[in-house]
Chains A and B, each alone.
Chain A
């Protein structure tokens, strides 16, 4: 007597492994969007991090407060709710950004809020003597930052920035909630079609993991490059 369908423990036990290959193209299509969102949001996030970090450290009061508010608001609220707010609430006020723009904007601003603290911390960690030495040589504040402080702080920023980028990559899964067909969204679609839950989500985990490894690898190379620059004294230009 055949067992009822819901008692079949795992579909993959009665499907050949080669069936996994059929799942890949759809998932890779989703991965592409995931990576696109990650890259664009990372670029926006890094820019926000530098601007807000510098503003919190050096800007006069109103700008300083603005930066602090930005950091607190985005760190202090749920990224998913922010996505919903930008995607569902903002259009009611007449601003329709579309799903992709909403995704990179919200995730970028989120990354930037955390990144601002990274930038601020790294700049604050450069000893005061470096500022004084630069001032005694006639550098102004901007010149000191550019030539003396930032190059030193950059090295200290790399590891926490790597963490932030991996965090960002994983957070992109949230965009599946605002109709974007990213990796997670595709996985859910495939699952609904094929019911091959175990393989699909295993593959998805693997793909996220590999993408995160890529970021780790890249940041490691960047760190070695900056540290090597220090050994050789960096470049003068």
Chain B
């Protein structure tokens, strides 16, 4: 069976700045993959490219065996829209639709995009809100929800489209510390009971170690090291990985200078 995602020799730049440079990554279907690395290492860009929000300059990206990006050529909008249906994304800043209730956020796309009958979409939407622990907030507006609640609605919203691949872009980074747990619990539950492919860009190392089948460490726009969590988190072989893990696991202590 083909992989869920396949990045081959991907180069992505913003003007002069190379964000991804010879990036290679293969994600088998059903894998729970965590991507870690210092800020600016290109982690989020990987997800944005997979979601077809951004193109690339060189290389190739395949989603479920279909070509999404082939060099700098931009596929027709129709193709992009079709491929986007395979993937779902949860954003750092939630990006809920402020003019819709929680339930409408969750069921608008199934109705508008997939043509699911409204009653059916709403019933499914309520199930999903229940799954993320927000059954009682169906009629609340986003502005009435806490950050953790907003992010859980955003997860339900992405799930409603039943994507094969889910992309989580630093989904707890914008949250107050006391709300991180509730969102991680939802993800933990999701990882355990679903056979979706999940890519998580995260700064929660312990959590990554807990739910990921594999952790990828990125720096400077490429994969520096990867492996099963227990190995990568406790016995990293690359000096850069070691330095990064030291700096995030013991915040405040300066990583030793690199040569």
Contact = CB atoms under 8 A, between A and B. Distances in A.
Interface of A: 127, 129-130, 132-141, 143, 147-148, 151-152, 229-234, 236
Contact of A234 (B53, B96, B104): B104
A133 B107 CA distance: 14
**Interchain residue pairs A-B with the least CB separation, the first 9:** A233-B101, A133-B95, A137-B109, A129-B95, A138-B113, A136-B89, A234-B99, A151-B99, A138-B85
A231 B145 CA distance: 12
Given A133-B97, A139-B109, 5 more contacts: A129-B95, A134-B97, A135-B51, A138-B81, A236-B108
A141 B53 CA distance: 13
B104 A137 contact: no
Q: How large is the interface on B (under 10, 10 to 19, 20 to 34, 35 or more residues)?
A: 35 or more
A136 B101 contact: no
Interface in B60-114: 77, 81, 84-85, 87-89, 91, 93, 95-104, 107-109, 111-114
B152 to A, nearest CB: 15
Contact of A233 (B51, B100, B112): B100
Contacts of B13: none
Contacts of B143: 230-231
A140 B100 contact: no
A132 B54 CA distance: 10
A236 B99 contact: no
B104 A233 contact: yes
Nearest to B107: A236
Given A135-B53, A136-B51, A152-B99, A233 B139 contact: yes
Contacts of A134: 97
Given A129-B91, A140-B77, A232 B158 contact: no
B35 interface: no
A130 B87 CA distance: 17
B208 interface: no
A231 B113 contact: no
B77 A130 contact: no
Contacts of B107: 236
Nearest to B141: A233
Nearest to A147: B112
A141 to B, nearest CB: 8
B91 A230 contact: no
